Structure 1
Amino acid sequence: MISVRRVLVSLALAFTAYLAARGLSGLAPAEHPLVIVGALALYLTTTWLCLFWEPAPFGRAAGAGRDQETGVPAPRGPEKLPLPAALLAIVSAALVPTAVSWAFAQDVRDDPYATWYLGGIGALMVIVMVRRRPWFAWSGLVMLIVASMAWMGPAQALQLGLVGSIVWVSCAQLLLRSMDRAARDTARLAQLQRAASAWQASHVVRQRERRVQVQSALSVAGPVLTRVIATGGELAEEERLEARLAEGRLRDELRGPRLLDDDVRAELERARRRGATVTVLDEGGLEGLADAALGQIRSQLAETLRTARSDRLYIRTSPHERVAVTVVGRSDSGAGLSDEDSVDLWMEIDHPAGARN
């Protein structure tokens, strides 16, 4: 399968090979042909190392896979060039222009076979830039600028291809930054889409739970409301009691469904029938509990309510690490006693051992 990366690598290989062939064509007029061969060998070795040398998996940084600011997975792209290859590229940028220029006589240093290094080192620095070593790329380009201007003069070096190398490296850095920014934006968008999907799913679940609660409320309050409408609000005492019990059951189902089972519901109704006021509130703390743990908590709650004689009962869940449910009972006390003295029941139901899923 042909990928974009393979196409780009193939183009880089073809271009560097073409530049090397230009350099080989100058062996005949060169005063020191062995120097040309050595410069070409160094150039090709460095270029191909920069193209194909990938860092070892264990040598990558632990957080290299994520964006440092957002924690979003970092964009995939060219791996960072290993340091030895980057240093070798700097060495090539320093030695190749000087070696090639020194190998030719003064009168032929401006010929195409003697100036191939302008494009060659420029292409090498583009590869270094794409491999995420910008400081090395710009340092190598500065060395190329200094060497070429020293051997040919500023005007001649700029005219023969130095400008193109500067433009290539600049464009490579701009394109790499743009691609990385686009990849990060895409990763953030994907993360937001996942969060939106999760929110939508939880919203659908909440809607379903509300429909179930409404249906349960109608099943509890429907008969009572029908009777109220039929009698025009003129209810017998027994019917008024049933209406209050229905209201209490409805409040319990809406405010504390995780605390309820058949035994707890029966004890709550028994307490209300004897005239007690009961308040049930689920304020968090029971999330993630196993069914067996919830069963133990409900069993202890039912037992506590079975023995309670208070006039007002307050049942609340607790976010405390140890306490799961708190039951407080208060009764009317004699005159002159403080509110704290009227508390006649205080029960804390602990979380069972290993309660969390």
Structure 2
Amino acid sequence: MIITVPRYLIVALAAVFSGYHLLLATYSLNAPIDKGPYIAAMALYALATAASLWATGSSRMPAWLAACNVAVAIIIPVLVTTQLPANQPIGNDYSTWYVAAIGTLMVITSTRKRHVFAWAGVAALVVHTIVWAGPAALPTIGVLGSVVWVGVSHALSVSLAKASADAEEYVVAERQAAAWQAAQEAHLFERQFRLRQTSRMALPMLRRIVASGGDLTEEQRRECLNLEGAIRDEIRGRKLLNAAVREHVMSARRKGTIVTLLDEGGLDDLPEDELDRVLADLADAIRSTTADRLIVRTVPEGSDVAVTVVGLSSGDGGSASALGHPEEDDEDQVDLWLEIPRTAG
């Protein structure tokens, strides 16, 4: 189970932590020589923090806002330190509140995926501190701590981004595995169904062949050919078949009609009630035709027609081929041309 923290709670905590720095600045208002620039620095920090925490459409901070935060990180130390007495010991009061404040602002910038700007902000803070109070002041007033905060934020942000990407990959892999498993189960069910159908149709004749030792009458041999065609229909006909269609196709074959069923996937997305209607019309067409050769084919999805039925009669009594022998096509006549619509009406 994945536990997620609401965004508003994170923003609220960041706002409280940022407000704490302003509280320290307010507490040390007696330290500056001129309170004007000092208060301006507080207002500038509050404005930059509010803009950085404000909800936007993306978790990534806009580049212009990140650049403004870097400018704030440069301006605030100048506004504050120029108003501090030169003889005042550094680090003995809260007048250097801006160090932790800028560190917090840069952590927010880094968290919102603007790491380069965050590092630029703390780098400006480091340079200003060295120029103003020397390298010894870096650990004293907490500059190194701000640098560490940004480093930790950067590392966590990169790690979380990688974890999120890995999680998305796992989700995609899981979906693919589930789809593969469903497809395999569907194929297995289809094979089992076809095997049951084949067994049901062929088993009586196979028993008869065994019982007679293979000595079949001419009528039984013709029935074997009809059963072979029925088994072929189960493979190539797929959704063109139901009980009525099977019955009328077998009846037509026993009368001498050559029947070819070809399902090329045009009925896969057809609703069940529409499919029943199409197969009922198909069964009626097969039952009523007197053609020597019958070709039934599905139409690809996107057409208004679901199934086409073509009935051909041959001048030589049905021995000419309508599909495999084009040299004899001129002897065939179209007795039936039927287009069964995909939807009723």
TM-score normalised to structure 1 length: 0.74
1:84–1:151 CA distance, 2 compared to 1 (3 A): same
Name the aligned partner's letter for residue 30 of structure 1.
Answer: P
> What is residue 289 of structure 2 aligned with on the other side?
307
- The answer to whether the Cα contact below 8 Å between 1:283 and 1:318 also exists between their aligned partners in 2 is yes
Secondary structure of the structure 1 residue equivalent to 2:259? strand
1:317–1:342 CA distance, 2 compared to 1 (3 A): farther
In structure 1, distance between residues paired with 2:238 and 2:4: 59
Q: How does 1:128-207 map to 2 (within 5 A)?
A: 128-134=109-115, 136-153=117-134, 155-156=135-136, 158-160=138-140, 161-207=142-188
Q: RMSD of the TM alignment (CA)?
A: 3.8
Q: CA deviation at 1:185?
A: 1.7
Q: Structure 1 residues 3-12 or 338-347, which shifts more?
A: 3-12
1:9–1:267 CA distance, 2 compared to 1 (3 A): closer
Secondary structure of the structure 2 residue equivalent to 1:108? coil
Q: How many residues align?
A: 330
> What is residue 84 of structure 2 aligned with on the other side?
104
Q: How does 1:112-131 map to 2 (within 5 A)?
A: 112-113=92-93, 114-131=95-112
1:284–1:13 CA distance, 2 compared to 1 (3 A): closer
Secondary structure of the structure 2 residue equivalent to 1:209? helix
In structure 2, distance between residues paired with 1:107 and 1:348: 106
Unpaired stretches in structure 1, ≥5 consecutive residues: 65-78
Name the aligned partner's letter for residue 82 of structure 2.
Answer: W
> What is residue 327 of structure 2 aligned with on the other side?
338
1:10–1:314 CA distance, 2 compared to 1 (3 A): closer
Name the aligned partner's letter for residue 54 of structure 1.
Answer: A
In structure 1, distance between residues paired with 2:337 and 2:88: 97
- The answer to whether the Cα contact below 8 Å between 2:60 and 2:113 also exists between their aligned partners in 1 is yes
In structure 2, distance between residues paired with 1:314 and 1:328: 6
1:163–1:44 CA distance, 2 compared to 1 (3 A): same
1:327 to 290, 306, 310: 310
Q: Structure 1 residues 13-22 or 260-269, which shifts more?
A: 13-22
Task: Give deviations 1:39-91, integer Å, cap 9, x for gaps.
Answer: 2344345435544x223xxxx3xxx6xxxxxxxxxxxxxx4457897576345
* Greater relative CO (CA pairs within 8 A, separation 6+): 1
